[in-house]
Chain A
């Protein structure tokens, strides 16, 4: 099996895993199981990133999303419901109109997706950071140079937003004296 064939097989497996695990995530009754399937989804996504030569993004995905954020979510679920995390089931009665409109939205999105997959064609234009250039410079280095060079402004804005978020959380969680 050649190198391309192997990559293709890995991609198919990872893509199927993403679909199956995200379906399972939404259908599990136990919130902890949902969280676990979400971690599997993140993992499979990281594999796809690796196939795209984006090692840094892949590891950041695992470290930040699958690691830290999901750990926080698990922590909250375990804190809120210590009885095995199982929640009593509530049935949300939904009007026929609401159901139909949701179904319509899903169908439209699916059709859009299929059209995009069938008719979208790559422009064959090579960007300024093809896989070879990134490999020769180093993945983390390329990311760093872009973030702190070309995209310094959006990067700083994002950091300020996060800082505001942190301060907001501190203010909200402070006890009134």
Chain B
């Protein structure tokens, strides 16, 4: 019977996580627009419902009923598949992030994580690289020169920042001695990793912003030069899928940051999931704040920053952390 119970338990966790994530993403769009509005001394959306609270629902309905256009010259299969790739990879990343302690229910020890796998962090990296295919292929399949330019930029940017991102996190992995995210959280019981790795945290913030293509690194879709880049030809629900994936990525990056540097769900008094959601929200807030503060960087500056600063700095961080751990 064990496999059935296991399947049931996993299914329940998946349904809960995806529901919370989707609701979170829907309202994240509102939060971001509101907060960006306040940062720019305007009100943000405030027409649909009280304080604009029904805006995400209105946006959803609008996306559903809009005409779905596929350009004549588009590579139809790839054009349809591209948003799906981005969406699926963005959501599945959440499977390995622990959001609470384990507890016993009906004699079963239930861990509050969907898949507690040995190679959790690598799994997230793998999905991150795959997610970029959606952006690259979507732009290419639209057969629009702006879109192709956007996807070329996305590919180059991803290749450059992936390397640094992996190297930055090696410091954390050395400290925790594991790639399993539950063990990384557990290792932070006596002190969050931000205390040991403040420099790595800053580097990680920069690299992950570049990885999810957000301002100041939103080269693939820079509105002012590429007219929205890779998704310029997309409309209706396909466009919405790209948007949902982008916000799901944002949530994942925030959740991963707090898992790696701020002790994950650990915290006094309150239960784990509440700490987890609270910390993630604060992190998301900081990410939106960065978007509201910095202008878009020029393309060659982004490349230079990636290869000539982030990469050597990450290497130095690895060496120093390893030395510190070895001498301790």
Contacts and interface: CB of A to CB of B under 8 A. Distances in A.
Interface of A: 3, 30, 32-33, 36, 39, 55-56, 59-60, 62-63, 66-68, 71-72, 74-75, 78-79, 82, 84-85, 138-141
B152 A140 contact: no
A59 B130 contact: no
B32 interface: no
Interface string B127-163: 0011011001100100101001001100110110010
Nearest to A56: B119
Contact of A55 (B119, B129, B145, B151): B119
Contact of A59 (B122, B148, B152): B122
Nearest to B162: A68
B119 A84 contact: no
Given A32-B140, A78-B140, A84-B75, A59 B158 contact: no
A3 B73 CA distance: 47
A85 B162 CA distance: 25
Nearest to A67: B129
B119 A62 contact: no
23 contacts: A33-B78, A39-B133, A55-B118, A56-B119, A67-B125, A67-B129, A67-B130, A68-B162, A71-B129, A75-B155, A75-B156, A78-B155, A79-B152, A82-B145, A84-B140, A138-B178, A139-B118, A139-B119, A140-B118, A140-B122, A140-B178, A140-B179, A141-B178
A36 B130 contact: no
A71 B126 contact: no
A93 to B, nearest CB: 30
A130 B183 CA distance: 24
A152 B46 CA distance: 63
A140 B120 CA distance: 10
A160 to B, nearest CB: 18
B159 A71 contact: yes
B239 interface: no
B35 interface: no
B123 interface: yes
Given A63-B125, A75-B152, 7 more contacts: A56-B118, A62-B126, A63-B129, A66-B130, A72-B159, A140-B118, A140-B179
